[in-house]
């Protein structure tokens, strides 16, 4: 006897989600593989594009850096070349070894005779502000020269005034950049032209070893010599100005100029100024006097300075080691 309730009823325990082998169909993998390959291809393609873009950016950046570096090198070489050309076309000056000197185009618009048209301060009537500008531009502070530089300038160091060795060391000599001497001379002529403001310059300088008229002749020639040496070939033209009768010259011009302000600032930063500014007839070291050929003093030698010192109440104190220097003989001998 079989007990039906003891026989498992498989139909009741079959899972509804299980299918038979006959019902199982093989998966169609073609779409899945295609999608999978498409994903990887797209990923590789995007990666390749990004890589190529990065390479292009790096190559372009390096190329731009190369161009920039080349341009900087060429510009630097051009600047150096300009400096060397400027140096080679000039007489020897140690300034070229210490300062970059170049020329640049400058447009000068002269205001002529109209003081309300913002003229340069150097074109204005005398005043404290004008005097300060001229004083700064013409101040003849010295720069330091070595013995070798003195020789290259064509002088024997034994004949050149040395700077105090206790302040500046051994073998340092005074030198003045000529442009400041030239502007000093121009300023002397300017001051003489305005006696109502500056007084009688001849009277003020009557005790100078170099008389004022001789000073002006020296200065006139110094300025003329510089102008003739540098002989500007720029051309000015005649025009008719509104409200101005007849022909008038337009003095505006375009010039290739050295940068004077840079030269002035360099000189101010590199001047050697002794702490003791008291006037002395001799330096603190022996010096060989040169014959000034009647130019520096009416006596043709340093003896005129003794008269100058006497007129100014200066007592000359000649160091013992300079006793070989000539002295003015007492009157009557």
Collapsing DSSP states into helix, strand and coil, what is residue 250? strand
Which of 72-76, 165-169, 294-298 tops mean pLDDT?
165-169
Question: Is a pLDDT exceeding 70 seen at residue 81?
Answer: no
Residue 252 CB coordination number (10 Å): 15
Average pLDDT, the chain: 76
User: What are the tokens at 329?
Assistant: 């003989």
Contact 196, 283 (CB under 8 A): no
Which residues touch 153 (CB under 8 Å, ≥6 apart)? 92, 94, 145, 175
Q: Which residues pair with 146 in a beta bridge?
A: 172
For 53-118, the DSSP string reads: HHHHHHHHHHHHHHHHHHHHHHHHHHHHHHHHHHHHTS---GGGGTS---EEEEEE---TT-TTS-
Query: What is the share, in percent, of the chain residues with pLDDT greater than 90?
Result: 33
Look-up: residue for tokens 């003020």? 204
Lowest-confidence pick of 11-20, 68-77, 170-179, 323-332: 11-20
pLDDT at 269: 96
Question: Is a pLDDT exceeding 50 seen at residue 237?
Answer: yes
Residue 243 pLDDT grade (very low, low, confident, very high; cuts 50, 70, 90): confident
What are the tens digits of pLDDT across the range 244-285?
A: 889 988 888 888 999 999 999 999 999 998 887 666 778 888
Tell which residue, 124, 164, 111, has the closest CA to residue 142: 164
Residue 145 pLDDT grade (very low, low, confident, very high; cuts 50, 70, 90): very high
Q: How far apart are CA 331 and CA 333, in angstroms?
A: 6
User: What are the tokens at 147?
Assistant: 């013995």
Collapsing DSSP states into helix, strand and coil, what is residue 32? helix
Residue 150 CB coordination number (10 Å): 21
pLDDT at 85: 76
Mean pLDDT throughout 151-180?
91
Q: How far apart are CA 332 and CA 330, in angstroms?
A: 6
What are the tens digits of pLDDT across the range 212-227?
A: 898 999 999 999 999 9
Instruction: Please count the residues of the chain.
Output: 333
Lowest-confidence pick of 162-176, 187-201, 277-291: 277-291
How deeply is 162 buried, as exposed, middle or buried, from its count of CB atoms within 10 A (0-12, 13-18, 19+)? buried
Contact 298, 209 (CB under 8 A): yes
Look-up: residue for tokens 């003489």? 192
- β pairing state of 248-250 and 103-108: unpaired
Look-up: residue for tokens 């340069």? 120
The reported pTM is: 0.65
């Amino acid at each position: 006897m079989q007990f039906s309730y003891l026989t498992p009823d498989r139909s009741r325990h079959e899972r509804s989600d299980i299918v038979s082998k006959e019902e199982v169909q093989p998966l169609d993998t073609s779409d899945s593989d295609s999608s999978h390959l498409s994903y990887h291809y797209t990923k590789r393609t995007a990666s390749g594009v990004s890589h190529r873009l990065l390479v292009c950016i790096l190559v372009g950046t390096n190329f731009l850096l190369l161009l920039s570096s080349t341009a900087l090198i060429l510009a630097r070489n051009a600047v150096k070349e300009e400096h060397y050309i400027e140096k080679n076309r000039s007489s020897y000056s140690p300034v070229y070894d210490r300062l970059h000197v170049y020329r640049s185009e400058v447009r000068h618009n002269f205001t002529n005779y109209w003081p309300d048209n913002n003229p340069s301060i150097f074109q204005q009537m005398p005043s404290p502000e004008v005097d300060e500008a001229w004083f700064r531009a013409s101040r003849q502070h010295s720069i330091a020269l070595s013995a070798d530089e003195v020789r290259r300038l064509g002088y024997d160091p034994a004949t050149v005034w040395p700077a105090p060795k206790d302040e500046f060391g051994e073998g340092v000599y005074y030198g003045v950049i000529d442009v400041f001497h030239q502007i000093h001379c121009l300023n002397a002529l300017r001051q003489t032209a305005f006696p109502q403001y500056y007084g009688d310059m001849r009277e003020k300088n009557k005790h100078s070893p170099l008389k004022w008229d001789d000073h002006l002749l020296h200065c006139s020639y110094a300025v003329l010599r510089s102008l003739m040496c540098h002989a500007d070939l720029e051309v000015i033209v005649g025009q008719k100005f509104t409200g101005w009768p007849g022909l008038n010259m337009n003095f505006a011009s375009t010039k290739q100029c050295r940068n004077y302000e840079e030269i002035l600032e360099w000189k101010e930063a590199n001047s050697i100024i002794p702490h003791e500014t008291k006037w002395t007839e001799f330096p603190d070291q022996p010096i060989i006097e040169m014959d000034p050929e009647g130019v520096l003093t009416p006596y043709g030698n340093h003896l005129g300075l003794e008269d100058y010192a006497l007129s100014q109440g200066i007592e000359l104190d000649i160091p013992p080691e300079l006793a070989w220097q000539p002295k003015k003989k007492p009157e009557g001998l």
